[in-house]
Amino acid sequence: MIREIFTAGVAFACLSLAPVAPATAQVPTAAPAATEKAAPVISVPEGFKVDVFAAGIGRARHMAVSPSGWVYVALMRPQKGFGAVALHDDNGDGVADQKLYFAKGLRGTGVGIHNGHLYYSTDVSIIRWKLPDAGIPTTKPELIVGGFTRQRQHSAKPFTFDDAGHLYVNVGAPSNACMEKMRQKGSKGMDPCPILESYGGIWRFDADKTMQEQAKAERYATGIRNAMALDWNPYVNSLYLAMHGRDQLAEFFPQYYSPKESADLPGEEFHKVAEGANLGWPYSYYDQHVGKRMKMPEYGGDGKTPADRPGQMPLIGFPGHWAPNDLLFRRTGTWPAHYQTGAFIAFHGSWNRAPEPQQGYRVVYVPMDKKGNITGQWETFANGFAGKGPIMSPRDAYSRPTGLAEGPDGALYISSLVHGGRIYRVTYVGK
């Protein structure tokens, strides 16, 4: 029987500071309860197996797995007053036996393990505890970074680490396209965009230094509307990210975009990001159909005019409004070689494809070699999370892939923030 414990924890006052279809084996994820929508069938490549590792845990976001196999999950909304949960499979059957809540009074998205510590992000801070050998943290949390401004849009602070002791934090832009009149039809864009001074980029910090502030830190890259999905690629020693594209092209500029075009534009951008990179937001977006950066309509574009300002070309432009929410490069070497050095990306779907049916709700794989070259077309790795369609709204989806993490045994964990919150566990059982 699962053991569920809510710990008193420590309340923390933050400083105000074209796809390839692989061969698939369909695996039922759980027996449906009589009173709920039938659980979906998750399809994965042949040789892989899917289990529901945990269910009903709360609105699960990003995850990290310790060397001892404890899965730490950040919760978007507090569960009975707690903003994180620790899960453990005691008997090796692929299902969590322990469910321990902690981080009292907090809510968050980012979670990670570095240098013997468990890191956790709220909307306004990055904190850490000493990583326990088992269970939940018992030490008082330390403030690593504060000074982030609380904002109404894109306030989550996902993060990752490099191999040299740095912490990279996404600071999303509290805006759609830096409009003079926020989300109003026909509004022009502010030029230059003042939002880029403190938002819309990646900031770099010392991962082991306490009491840092964003205002005194280094902006690593700019022109990034909101990058929920980021990870350090250990094979090429570089930061990678997938960015959420802007919304409502047809709604604000119907003279240039039809609803069908708006449902698939702009492309969701996958990038390798070097220091000083400018990805182009808010002055341009990437049109995956023509393979070019295009001028934003707020800045004089008409859907056909190429961009005339700096903006890095993405490695891939995925379909619009799939909403990439996490990115993972595997490190254990326990899966077939094809899946070893490429990028897994979790797409949790978006509201902005309406009135067209929703898309996304899957985990894709981008095959890459150890030099960072993309070696083939991206492919859907795990699908079916949303359940039977049509999915006209994110509320229709049974599960929405949100976070990715790798266990010490090579298992891939996939979180979902809806239907009570659940964690899927994918293992390789083939030869």
Confidence band of 23 (pLDDT split at 50, 70, 90): very low
* Domains defined along the chain, listed by start: 3-428 (2.120.10.30)
* Residue 21 pLDDT grade (very low, low, confident, very high; cuts 50, 70, 90): very low
**Rounded mean pLDDT, 94-101:** 97
CA separation, residue 425 to residues 220, 409, 410, 422 (Å)? 34, 11, 10, 10
Cis before residue 390, ω within 30 degrees of 0? yes
CA–CA gap between residue 348 and residue 414 (Å, rounded): 11
**Beta-bridge partners for 240:** 231, 272
Average pLDDT over residues 414-419: 91
Number of H-type helices and E-type strands within the chain: 2, 30
* Structure confidence by residue, pLDDT tens digits, 276-299: 999 999 999 999 999 999 999 999
Residue range 207-211: average pLDDT?
98
Question: What one-character DSSP code corresponds to residue 260?
Answer: H
d(CA 415, CA 402): 5
Q: What is the pTM of this model?
A: 0.92
223: alpha, beta or left? (left if phi > 0; alpha if psi -120 to 50): left
pLDDT of 37: 61
Tell me, what's the pLDDT at 2?
45
- Confidence band for 22, pLDDT divided at 50, 70 and 90: very low
Tokens of 326: 């996490």
Q: What percent of the chain has pLDDT over 90?
A: 81
**CA 266 to each of CA 10, 248, 249, 301, 346: distance values in angstroms, whole numbers, following the listed order:** 42, 10, 9, 13, 18
Q: pLDDT (tens digit, 9 = 90+) per residue, 394-414?
A: 888 889 999 999 999 999 999
Q: Which residue has the higher pLDDT, 411 or 13?
A: 411
pLDDT tens-place string over residues 101-112: 999 999 999 999
Q: What's the pLDDT score for residue 418? A: 87
Gap between the Cα atoms of 431 and 422, Å rounded: 28
